[in-house]
Every structure is written in C-alpha cells, then in structure tokens.
Amino acid sequence: MNYNLFAAVIAIATALGTAGCTTTISPGYPATSLEQAMPVMTEYSQGLACLGELIDQTDKPRLTVYVDKIRDQTVPRRYKNRRLSHGAQWWIHTAISKLGTNRIQSTTDNVKNANRKSNHLVLSGAWTQDDLNVKKNGGGVNVQLGDIRFGIGSSRRFDVIAGDFVSVANGRVLHASAISLAVGRNDTEVLLRVEDSDDVFELDISNTLNEGPQFAQRRITEAAVMIHLSRYFEINCRSCIEAGWANPQEFRKKLGEYKSFQPGGQVEAMQLALKKAGYYPGPVDGKWTERNSRALMCFQTDAGYPVNGRPSAVVYAMLALRSIKSETKAASQTIETRLK
C-alpha cells in the first residue's frame, strides 16, 4: 500500500514537471546544454544584441567585467519602506550575457584578486534618485504622428528613478554617466534620459510595458551596460538603444528581411539601403565591389560603428532605420510648416 502511494506521488510529480516544462530535453543531451536551453529574448534584448554584434566587429582584445554592488543611496540604510531593489548587480550580469559576444565576460570574483596585467574593467554605481510625482511642464494634449509626438499646454507628472554609474580600470575612472527613467503617472509615457559626458539625449520608450520600479531599474542598468561597454570599445551605441527600445518592431523586421535573402539578394538590399540613405554605392546589381565597401565605410564612420566595409544584418537594419527616421523627420517639418 505504501509502495503504491509512493509510486502514485512520483507519477503525479513527473506529470506536473513535464507539463510545466517549456524546454524539451532530447536523449543524449544534458539539461544544461545550450542547444536545449536558450535565454529568453525580449525587445530590450535586441538593443543589447545589436551592440554585441558591433563589438564582434572590432579588433580589441577580450574583456573581463567585474560588477560591483549597485547600492541604494536614495534613503537611509535602515529605512524599511524603500522601493528600489538590490538586484542591479545581477541585472548587469544578465545584460552582459544578452550582448551575445565572447569578447566580453562578466565575473562575480572580487576585483582585488584580478591580475593587474589582465584586460579588465570594473562597473560600479549607485541609485541616486527615487522621486514620486515629479511635475513636468507640457503635454496637456498629445498628438502622435509616426514617431513624432506633439504636446500642448497643461503639465504632466512622473515617477523618476535615476542611477549614476562609473567604469574603472586600474583605479582610474574611465567613464561616468547618469541615467534616469521617468514613468508617467497615467502609465502611458516612459522617458529614458542619458547624460553621457558630452552627449545628452532623451528617448521615448512609451510603447514598452510598465512593470513598476524594478522595470525602471532593469532598463537603467541595461542602458548603463550599453553606454559603458560601447565607450570602452569605441562604438556609438545610441542607435542600438533607439533601434532595440524605441523602434523594436521595425528593427526586428529589417533584421529578418535581410536574413531571408540569398547572398546576392543581401548584397542588392545593402546597395539599395546605402543609396536610399545617401551614400552612393553605384549600381544596385547584387555584386559587392570596392565602391560599395567605401560607401559602407562612410556610413560606419558617420554612425560611429567599427569601420570595416563589411555588410551585415545589423548594419543593414541601421541603414534602413536611418532612412525611415529621415523620412519621418522631413514629414514632421512639413507638418510644422503648415501649422505655422
């Protein structure tokens, strides 16, 4: 009787386990095999993967990133009703993993044990702002035309969370940035602001899901990873942030479009994209030439990407998005002229 009961419990547990499992384990493969368990990719992951591919195109040596604790400095340590999570250190590890490049690896080891001659970076920071109900002028009436939003009159209120991050090598600060995310009180507006030394930009990511304070923290730490590692590898990551976060559907569409073509079709698509973006590659004939490479290198130089003249899915998607952005900007200027 006891044996039958035990067998029944095992059978039920097995059934529940297999019913709730989303990864099928094939015979001959361990449960931890990468072929069987792939990381969950979100729209935000696209921006990180974009940067990872650009990093792969550089000639810099592999980098080890030591991740320090990201402490909450917004309230006293003994304050019990804090909103912010202590998970930022792990979000950074996750973001580095989503880059998808073997040129960068993160570690939980203490940086004191690092070999001074090794190629390594320490990423550290703190949460420095957690304000509720912040008033911001403008936006009583919102009109959306493509990627352009017009706000008229009134004022809006946001919850604002911000962090300051530094990257350090051999005890010297290489780069510092302040990144904030403001979530509208009506949950319809999400604004990411990056103060990155000489570059300051604000990005509307209102099409994303609002998941509360931890949503804001995760996006901020992901942006910090993109900002600091792109600085280290001398890549402009702004377009990757915009493509992966502000325009993820179109970015994914263009990536898939390029990958669906045969090799000759990919070359022709790249030539057409260069021509549309104003880089004059010559005839659109599906044959990659030195002239095409020079045109592509001009674009890569202007965009702040690794300059190699080699076509890729990410470069094609960026070219296509630049053309779309230019067309949208021209349309908005026409609308503003008519309104005047």
Q: Of the candidates 212, 236, 260, which is a domain's last residue?
A: 236
pLDDT of residue 188: 64
Task: Tell me, yes or no, whether 212 and 268 share the same domain.
Answer: no
pTM of the model: 0.75
285 and 226 assigned to the same domain = no
Helices (H), 233-309: 238-241, 248-260, 263-276, 290-303
Of 236, 258, 290, the position where a domain reaches its end is 236
Nearest-angstrom CA–CA distance, 86 and 3? 46
Domain boundary among 189, 209, 236: 236
Q: Which of 46, 45, 97, 41 has its CA nearest to residue 255? A: 46
Query: In terms of domains, do 202 and 115 share one?
Result: yes
Judge if 285 and 219 occupy the same domain: no
Q: Are residues 187 and 286 in the same domain?
A: no
Of 37-41, 294-298, 300-304, least confident by mean pLDDT is 37-41
Containing 231, the helix (H) or strand (E) segment is helix 213-232
Asked if residue 216 and residue 257 are part of one domain, the reply reads no
Q: What is the CA radius of gyration of the chain?
A: 24
Which CATH number belongs to the domain containing residue 82 in this structure? 3.40.50
Instruction: Note whether 58 and 95 are same-domain residues.
Output: yes
First to last CA, the chain: 87
Q: Based on the fold, state whether residues 73 and 128 are members of the same structural domain.
A: yes
Q: What residues contact 253, with CB distance under 8 A and at least 6 apart?
A: none
Range of the structural domain that residue 186 is part of: 43-236
Convert the pLDDT of each residue in 65-87 to its tens digit. Answer: 999 988 888 877 666 666 787 78
194 lies in some domain: yes
> How far is it, in rounded angstroms, from Cα 27 to Cα 46?
32
Asked whether the predicted pLDDT for residue 5 surpasses 80, the reply is no
Better pLDDT: 209 or 152: 209
The model's confidence at residue 213, banded by pLDDT at 50, 70 and 90, is: confident
